[in-house]
Structure 1
Amino acid sequence: MTVNKRRVYGLVASMMLATSILTACGDKGGSNEANATGNLENLNETGMPIVKEQINVNGFAAKFFASQDWSNLMLWQEYEKMSNIHINWTTVQTEALAEKKNLLLAAGDYPDIFFASAFSRTDLIKYGQQGVFLALNDYIDKYAPNFKKVLEEYPSVKQGITMADGNIYGFPTIYDPKFDSLRVGAPWINQEWLDNLGLKSPETTEELYQVLKAFKEQDPNGNGIQDEQGWGTGYGIRQHINFLRGTFGLNKQGTMNINLDFKPGTEEFRFVPTTDEYKQLLQFLNRLYSEGLINQDVFTTEPQKFAAEAAKGTFGMLSEVDPKELFKLDNYVGAQVLEGPNGDRRYTAMSNGLGNLGMFVITDKAKDPVAMVRWIDHLYGQEGTKMFFMGFEGVTYEEDAEGNFKYLDTITNNPDGKNLDQAISDYLTWPGGYYPGIVTQKYFQGAEAKENSLKNAAQVMPYALKDDDIIPGLNFTLEENDQIVTILTDIQTYIDEMAANFITGKASFDKWDEYTKTIEKMGLEKYMKVAQSAYDRTK
């Protein structure tokens, strides 16, 4: 029922890491020259169908639901009728995606296109420079008017998808920067409990502590049992950390490069996890955790398991999508952006709207790459976006007299008891969050588009970063990746491990200097020089 904001945060965080170094294919050099355009005589440069005589294309894709058969899915059947392009789909569930696509590339047994395959920045430049993935710059300029328009409207998106060699190798997921509730959102707080205890929504970290403590100890649900819990999530401690970053003066350039922001008054990077402010953030979470005000299984629970607990309505605050949509709980409203101990009150867990860069790539095996550029470009235009997210009028959605779109009751109140994601997946592929295209408020009907989420976002926006403040994810050269990828992977593993140890009390904050020195010894200086160089290149 959601675009899956947790997945969005995960993708944003992973952009800096560049950890998907695959086993090397042989150097293809300029082998994509032979199929630079394909059969242009069979191409219609505008409108539908895309090609005059049907073409067959081999495609590989990740899917969220194992039961989905893409060869019989209405989305692809109808798009084939429109475009005259038949895709022979090979699909794999998202959990097995990384292994399967790596094997295909390593063996050289890869298809014409990869769809919803989540290639990292490292993958894109590596296989792009080998000639396995086609450089798309000229194709976009000539044959992708919808996507080109998006890049012109949002220059930072273009900057973010352009690799260090100047080429674009993949079509990304884009979360429309005008769609505020996809980009920002505070946790949800139980307004009924606040009212029952005569409390107001907290506006500082100290007030949050006092409110969570009252929730746990003062029986706000009035059942005479101390069954109330504080602040919970099924998606890990990063949900808590991300919300509090701006409260502690961190990530004032956003979270596209999650461990980097500028030293005050400069454009020189500092490493966020070794700052005093990050230490303060962890100390605050340690205080909450040690008093049982954060769900104690936050480091181990899984979303499905947590959902069963959250649906009982026993949490005072939730870092999920709207509990009304997710758990049928009506008494939650958006919490306030908090002021921290140093006077900071910002919301900084933001991207420029750019999700995974490698959600659609065209390989050197494609016989008609221009046709496939036109095929994917349709999904970045209004009609293609409507089809991809809403489906088909009279089958999955209806349009009212004011031009608003909504799913039919058979989708939102499915007679077979399916939830929205399950019901719409009988026709479409977007649930799960793996797709190329642009998510817009007009055509997206998940939880983030509902009234409560829009109100939550409106409350956050006065404290949110401006778009000009947000730095796109850094794009490294292959040489730079070779220098830092192992360093960065090891450092990130250590950061995550020590964050858990500090918060749970397994590690004393007396060990903070030892922690920072350990990170320095792991090669931090080399990484910082490379990151700074990559940023300076963008200027």
Structure 2
Amino acid sequence: MKNKKVIFLLLMSFILILAACSGKKSSGPETPEIKEEDLENFNATGMPIVNEPVTLKFMAGQSALSSDNYNETLLWKTYEEMSNIHIDWELVPVDGREEKRNLALAGGTLPDVFYTMGMPNEDLLKYGQQEIFVKMNDLIEEYMPNLSALLEQYPEIRKGSTFPDGNMYSIPTVYDPEFTSVLLGSKGWIRKDWLEQLEMDMPETIDDFYNYLKAVKETDLNGNGKQDEIPYGATSISDLRNILKGAFGIGNKGVKHSYIDEDPESGDVRFYPISDGYKAELEFLNKLYSEGLIQENIYTIDANQSYSMGADGLYGSTVITSAETIYGEMGKNFVGLPALEGPAGKTYNKATSPLAHMGGFVVTKENKHIPETLRWLDYFYSEEGAKLFFMGIEGETFEVDENGDLQYLEKITNSSEGLTMEQELSKYITWLGGGYPGIVREATFKGAESLPSSIEAAGKLEPNMLDEVWPEFTYTVEENNKLSGLKADIHKYVDEMQDKFITGTEPLSKWDEYVNKVEKMGLEEYLEIQQAAYKRYKSN
């Protein structure tokens, strides 16, 4: 009997050890304990969220396009009546968010929630581990059924939102993975009427595109007797680089990473600004710039000046969210440019992750109503909630047309006070300017990406889109500390040389010298950190 007892105890010890080893236990803070008495006023489903009114204090980033009094907008008046939760909004202009955040976190008065305050990932981890920000993992499962369903359907969003310690410290902003136009953002556009005048087909290759640009430069297409047509014009050159990356085989994991992608041969993280493909793209862009096919002042032009030139009909091509919304009537002459084939094939690498960003909704330790707060936000991940957030109330701000699509009323699109659509909308909603938590769906979002011309342009690009797009990676505190210095030096030098190579200020004969300098700036350590972050992301 004694031997049997010993064997039993040893067996049980072995089982416990196995359980401990196999358990996925994350380090870091504990989930706040929600006591039963804390839920007496709380309704787990339906509206209102609470029986007796509750007030929450939000520190919120305020866009220049937004109202100065959120509680007077239709959105938040309506939702307060529905939920029985009042929000005390402390509005902070966007350009002052960083200072205000830092003051609060350094010992000032914390709000219950940082809302649209653009909290950086490194701060989410730092203050999450200090238990200033609340750990969200179990709380999302418990109190946010709409978001939980999305995370279950699209596990890459949860993977990207999880920090190296295994925890989530914020609520993500999600772009519906089925909403291609918003994932692609700004797209290439080309003048269809000028193609017809030139008797040219839609470009399919980078050589076709070059030939079109050259023809625009050499032809008086606007018929004013001047050579003032600009083959390619925009507010910057970065988007042109992005739409061409696929043709040169670089940036193959999307635009969240401007310097790293996946090495096609090894499958490891690659620093592509020293690759042959990157050099080939710079050579092509230098050719365009040196021949006057790219707007000469593209590095210095003011956005409004660029928009005005597009509206005046001077641009033959551009990269922008919507030519129609920016260039007005003239923009209707533009159609979407397809993915262009180049030496590396025909993929379109300019796409963002469905995990748009993570810093839009952060709950702090001061919050005494966490279940109520999370249920309050979770509504906006539902179809009805997204409709309220982006469109307002049917009959007051929008109507349903004969096709079943939601459309803003004419009082918003054609203001009787002579206001722009954005100015008129700011009386009713607060999504303008971005940064909001929630989900952006095609059916309920009526920004530039939802216009028929934008949907059509996205449709052309969809067959050549990437199979996988990386979100931003998350790093440990130690990695962040090392990486910040390395990024500051390496990225700055790469950006400077990129511009010099394109404009010809530095000849591409200095390429090897440039590569050697990058490598000596700590590139090996930089890549080790990125590789570790990538492995964690894949295994989350």
Question: Distance in 2 between the 1:321 and 1:136 partners?
Answer: 34
Which segments of 5 or more consecutive residues in structure 2 lack a partner in the other structure?
Answer: 1-27
Question: Which residue matches 1:294?
Answer: 294
CA contact (8 A) 1:186 1:460 kept: no
Q: Which structure exhibits the higher relative contact order, with contacts defined as CA atoms closer than 8 Å and separated by 6 or more residues?
A: 1
CA contact (8 A) 1:112 1:363 kept: yes
Question: Which residue matches 2:14?
Answer: none
Equivalent residue for 1:332, pick from 327, 331, 334: 334
1:441 aligns with 2:442: yes
After superposition, the Cα gap between the structure-2 partners of 1:535 and 1:314, relative to the gap in structure 1 and judged at 3 Å, is: same
Question: Which residue matches 1:125?
Answer: 125
Question: Distance in 1 between the 2:195 and 2:98 partners?
Answer: 45
SS at match of 1:489: helix
How many Å apart are 1:223 and its aligned residue? 2.2
CA contact (8 A) 1:35 1:368 kept: no
Question: Distance in 1 between the 2:416 and 2:277 partners?
Answer: 51
Question: Distance in 2 between the 1:190 and 1:133 partners?
Answer: 50
Question: Distance in 1 between the 2:524 and 2:37 partners?
Answer: 47
Question: Which residue matches 1:496?
Answer: 495
After superposition, the Cα gap between the structure-2 partners of 1:502 and 1:116, relative to the gap in structure 1 and judged at 3 Å, is: same
CA contact (8 A) 2:67 2:73 kept: no
Question: Distance in 2 between the 1:33 and 1:158 partners?
Answer: 20
1:207 aligns with 2:205: no
Question: Distance in 2 between the 1:287 and 1:325 partners?
Answer: 31
User: Per-residue displacement from partner, 1:294-315 (whole Å, max 9, x unpaired)?
Assistant: 1222222232232122211110
Output the amino acid matched with 2:443.
K
CA contact (8 A) 2:187 2:321 kept: no
How many Å apart are 1:262 and its aligned residue? 2.1
Question: Distance in 1 between the 2:304 and 2:85 partners?
Answer: 38
Question: Distance in 2 between the 1:31 and 1:92 partners?
Answer: 31
SS at match of 1:392: coil
How many Å apart are 1:494 and its aligned residue? 1.7
After superposition, the Cα gap between the structure-2 partners of 1:106 and 1:221, relative to the gap in structure 1 and judged at 3 Å, is: same
After superposition, residues 312-351 of structure 1 pair within 5 angstroms as: 312-328=312-328, 329=330, 330-340=332-342, 342-351=343-352
After superposition, residues 307-456 of structure 1 pair within 5 angstroms as: 307-328=307-328, 329=330, 330-340=332-342, 342-400=343-401, 403-456=404-457
Output the amino acid matched with 1:157.
I
Output the amino acid matched with 1:444.
F
CA contact (8 A) 1:38 1:370 kept: no
Question: Distance in 2 between the 1:60 and 1:296 partners?
Answer: 43
Question: Distance in 2 between the 1:144 and 1:302 partners?
Answer: 43
1:140 aligns with 2:140: yes
Question: Which residue matches 1:5?
Answer: none
Question: Which residue matches 2:504?
Answer: 505
Larger-gyration structure (1/2): 2
How many Å apart are 1:113 and its aligned residue? 0.3
Question: Distance in 2 between the 1:296 and 1:99 partners?
Answer: 37
Output the amino acid matched with 1:85.
I
Output the amino acid matched with 1:366.
N
Output the amino acid matched with 1:331.
N
CA contact (8 A) 1:38 1:367 kept: no
Output the amino acid matched with 1:368.
H
CA contact (8 A) 1:187 1:334 kept: yes
CA contact (8 A) 2:67 2:427 kept: no
Question: Distance in 1 between the 2:431 and 2:268 partners?
Answer: 39
1:219 aligns with 2:238: no
How many Å apart are 1:103 and its aligned residue? 2.2
SS at match of 2:187: coil
CA contact (8 A) 2:32 2:134 kept: no
CA contact (8 A) 2:67 2:426 kept: no
Question: Distance in 2 between the 1:78 and 1:175 partners?
Answer: 25
Which segments of 5 or more consecutive residues in structure 1 lack a partner in the other structure?
Answer: 1-28
1:42 aligns with 2:41: yes
Bigger drift between 92-101 and 374-383 goes to 92-101
After superposition, the Cα gap between the structure-2 partners of 1:91 and 1:32, relative to the gap in structure 1 and judged at 3 Å, is: farther
User: Per-residue displacement from partner, 1:157-200 (whole Å, max 9, x unpaired)?
Assistant: 11111111111111122111101111226311001111111112
How many Å apart are 1:153 and its aligned residue? 1.0
Give aligned-pair identity as a percent. 41
CA contact (8 A) 1:35 1:367 kept: no
Question: Distance in 2 between the 1:398 and 1:345 partners?
Answer: 41
SS at match of 1:371: helix
CA contact (8 A) 2:407 2:446 kept: yes
Question: Which residue matches 2:197?
Answer: 196
CA contact (8 A) 2:203 2:212 kept: yes
After superposition, the Cα gap between the structure-2 partners of 1:264 and 1:401, relative to the gap in structure 1 and judged at 3 Å, is: closer
After superposition, residues 458-469 of structure 1 pair within 5 angstroms as: 458-466=459-467, 469=468
Question: Which residue matches 1:472?
Answer: 471
Output the amino acid matched with 1:412.
T
How many Å apart are 1:34 and its aligned residue? 6.9
CA contact (8 A) 1:255 1:349 kept: yes
Question: Which residue matches 1:532?
Answer: 531
Output the amino acid matched with 2:340.
L
Q: TM-score, normalised by structure 2?
A: 0.90
How many Å apart are 1:271 and its aligned residue? 0.5
Output the amino acid matched with 1:55.
V
How many Å apart are 1:252 and its aligned residue? 2.1
1:86 aligns with 2:86: yes
Output the amino acid matched with 1:371.
E
Output the amino acid matched with 2:356.
G
Output the amino acid matched with 1:527.
Y
Query: Segments of 4+ in structure 1 off by > 3 A?
Result: 29-38, 400-403
After superposition, the Cα gap between the structure-2 partners of 1:457 and 1:36, relative to the gap in structure 1 and judged at 3 Å, is: farther
State the aligned residue count.
507
CA contact (8 A) 1:189 1:318 kept: yes
Question: Distance in 2 between the 1:36 and 1:299 partners?
Answer: 58
Question: Which residue matches 1:244?
Answer: 244
After superposition, the Cα gap between the structure-2 partners of 1:106 and 1:295, relative to the gap in structure 1 and judged at 3 Å, is: farther
After superposition, residues 68-87 of structure 1 pair within 5 angstroms as: 68-87=68-87
Bigger drift between 502-511 and 433-442 goes to 502-511
SS at match of 1:461: helix
Output the amino acid matched with 2:337.
A
Bigger drift between 161-170 and 493-502 goes to 493-502
Output the amino acid matched with 1:76.
W
